Structure formats: structure tokens, C-alpha cells
Amino acid sequence: MVNLENMHRTHYQQISDWDLGSTYVYKNKVLLIKSSNQLFFYELELDQEQLITQKAGNSNPFKWVKYYEMDVVGFVVA
């Protein structure tokens, strides 16, 4: 859930070129994304390059990185 009063903390990242389905965040640690026949798991990683640029005064040092995927159909229920 995005806190509208902290909108400056949001950032944009294109994590896939595919059309994705329902998306869930588990305990602010894991991003679950459902496609038609797969389930992707993303976690936040520290981007060293971005960290350097952040010191210069811009961008977010974290990015979502896919670490696991499962071949499943059906619906995700959290």
C-alpha cells in the first residue's frame, strides 16, 4: 500500500516486458507476480550503481530482482 503522504518514496521500475496478472507483496520482502502459467518471485536488491548515483542526489538504490519462478496455473490467494 502506497502512503500518499510519502509519494516521494515511490519509484518506477520496469521489471518485465510481459503482460502480468495479479501481484502481491509478502511482508515487504517478496513480490509475487502471476502470469498465465507461471508465478514469479522478486526480491529487493541493492543496486551498487544506483547507490553511487544516489550519493550524487537522485534515484532509489533498490531494485526488484527475480529470484525464483514456478510453472503453475490457477489463482494466487494470499
Partner 1 sequence: MVTDTHVYFYKFDEDSKSLIPKLVTTMNNFMGCISLLVDSNDKICVSYKSGQNNFTTYKRKYDHGFREIIDSTSREGTCGLSFPSKGMFMISDDDYVQIHGEKNYKLINRINVPLQQSDTDDEIEIISIAKSQDDKHLGILSGKNLIKGIESIYSLHIYIIHEDKSHTLKASCHLPESFRSVSKSFVFDKVNPDNSVIFVDNIGIKRYNYMVQSMNEMYKFKNPIQSQPDYIVFSEFQHELILASSDDVLWVNIVKKNEVDIDN
Judged by the rule CB under 8 A, the positions of this chain that interact with partner 1 are: 26, 29-30, 39, 41, 43, 67-68, 70, 72-77
DSSP 35: -
- Nearer to partner 1 by Cβ, of 13 and 37: the residue is 37
- Nearer to partner 1 by Cβ, of 18 and 26: the residue is 26
Distance CA 50, CA 54 (A): 6
Least Cα distance to 19 among 39, 34, 30, 41 occurs for 34
- Nearer to partner 1 by Cβ, of 18 and 67: the residue is 67
Shortest Å, Cβ 74 to partner 1: 4
CB atoms within 10 A of CB 78: 7
